[in-house]
Amino acid sequence: MKVVIVGGVAGGATTATRLRRLDENSEIILFERGEHISFANCGLPYYVGNVIKNEEDLLVQTPEKFKERFNIDVRISQEVIKIDKENRKVEVKKNDTGETYFETYDKLVLSPGAEPINPFKDVKSDRIFTIRNVNDAEKVKAFIKSNNPKSAVIVGGGYIGVEMAENLSEYNMEVSIVEKSPHLISIIDNDIAHFVHKEVKKHGVKLYLNQGVNDISEHEKLLLTLDNDKIETDLAILCIGVKPESNLAKEAGLTLNEKGAIIVNSKMQTSDENIYALGDAVEVQNIITGARSGIALAGPANRQARIVANNIEGITSTYDGFIGSSILKVFNYSLGIVGLSERVCQTLKIPYKIMIISPYSHATYYPGAKMLTIKAIYNSETSQILGAYIWGKASVDKITDILSIAIQTKMKAADLSALELCYAPPFSSAKSPVNILGNAIENEINGLVDTISVEELRNEKKTYILDVRTIEEYNLSHIDRAINIPLDELRENLKKLDKSKEIVVHCHSGSRSYLACRILKQKGYNVKNLIGGYIMYDIMKND
């Protein structure tokens, strides 16, 4: 069998090596129009920031190693410019000479990836950059070294934008992010975005939110004209987003969706059964909702590559879909993201509620425990976990991974409570944060407590607020309307509370106030626990 693969990196290169492990005798040709067939593109911002020192560290494989170890014919700096699916051949152009030739195939694999969106291609300037490959990162580093810029603007506050802002800050530049959405990382919920904003601002990054860039012009510096502001800067990096690079597939007559993504079936076959496609350029299914869209993450691309290779070699394999598991470093914190957001639940009319807890990463009596904030979105009718965010300095990846498995296997709150997870004081607590999350959701589902969110509280101007923290905590800072009765003094002061009023109870994180709610509810009071406690109120108030 002869297999031709178009594009390397996570999708194409992984497909090639899996094919070879399955079949020693097949002929495998991999075309890559760039210079590198397999590089760590997720590491590019950290290469710009010199966290990753050497370019070689980004290169996972070289053409020479591919040939030596896997006997794969890698042809770099050669671009497939046309597919003739009727005759099963592709036309290839050599970048150095412009010469073209044809290569036949039995099976064709498309892994073209996605290209950065750049609405300012007409602006000719060596101060404007996009980040897609190692060469792009090299250009940014070379510009910084030669010009010693004092300022930089990141256009787009998504994953790459936030990572680039952090790494450019290492050069002691004044760094700004312009984001058209109301908050950074537009796919996340508004309340969690406040944590991101606080950490980014703490490191001196300026935010221009709810603003698009209407024009870029170059004078002595770049001038960016926003909806409501103007910014002068020494360089700009466009991190607006990506779009499927699917022109080759379109011209070949393969079926695309309205956004230009290649439509594939569960075996990753396109509308032509002899042509497979994978990675950032394809449309796949969300496991939870059944909706179809693209997912520009390396993890799904790697899994799809295995499935493509299996099916080519006669091992029936299917890709069931994605849930969007990801993690992002934000200066000194990490943000784990998995599953559905509140916005998606609202759009799809999925009945849901939220739970926010703030446990510690491990036993507090062992040194180094760090407080986490975990938000879960769950189906209010079934208690099935739909989505989660994890914010903190430790154990974020572990907890995100556990909740990713929980969502993929359609676990409910009781299932989280029942999970047997490893424990020793340096690593976790006897009740892990995931167990605590399950317990908290179960408590609400079983009617042991009612809850109210910070946003809901803001709209209830006449609500009676009870702060059960210590007097010292209350005096340090508190909600303006709140009265203070410390939890340990609550039973002796019940007569101070009005049973005819709804009482919103809070503490620092929600744990002590849950106990207060149990006391008051059993005494006949109408009470609600503030989700996330004063932590959430304070973070949303001050952003």
Backbone angles phi, psi at 205, to 5 degrees: -80, 130
Nearest to 533 by CA among 514, 242, 461, 323: 514
367 burial level (CB within 10 Å; 0-12, 13-18, 19+): exposed
Nearest to 501 by CA among 531, 451, 465, 457: 465
Q: How far apart are CA 178 and CA 102, in angstroms?
A: 45
Q: Is 42 a catalytic residue?
A: yes
Single out the catalytic residue among 42, 345, 507, 517.
Answer: 42
In this structure, the number of other CB atoms found within 10 A of the CB of residue 489 comes to 12
Using DSSP's 3-state secondary structure scheme, residue 201 falls into helix
In this structure, the number of other CB atoms found within 10 A of the CB of residue 380 comes to 17
Q: What share of the chain is helix, strand, coil (3-state, %, to 5)?
A: 35, 30, 40
Beta strand pairing call for 262-263 and 282-285 = parallel
Beta strand pairing call for 2-6 and 107-110 = parallel
How remote is the C-alpha of 170 from its chain's centroid? Answer: 23
- Report the run of H or E that residue 433 belongs to, with start and end: helix 433-445
Phi-psi region of 218 (alpha: psi -120 to 50; beta: other; left: phi over 0): beta
292 burial level (CB within 10 Å; 0-12, 13-18, 19+): middle
In this structure, the number of other CB atoms found within 10 A of the CB of residue 504 comes to 25
- Tokens standing for residue 356: 């926010």
Torsion, Cα of 340, 343, 348, 354 (10° steps): 60
Q: How far apart are CA 508 and CA 468, in angstroms?
A: 9
Angle, CA 526 vertex, CA 521 and CA 531 arms, to 5°:
85
Distances (CA, A) of 525 to 357, 429, 502: 24, 33, 8
Q: Which residues are catalytic?
A: 42
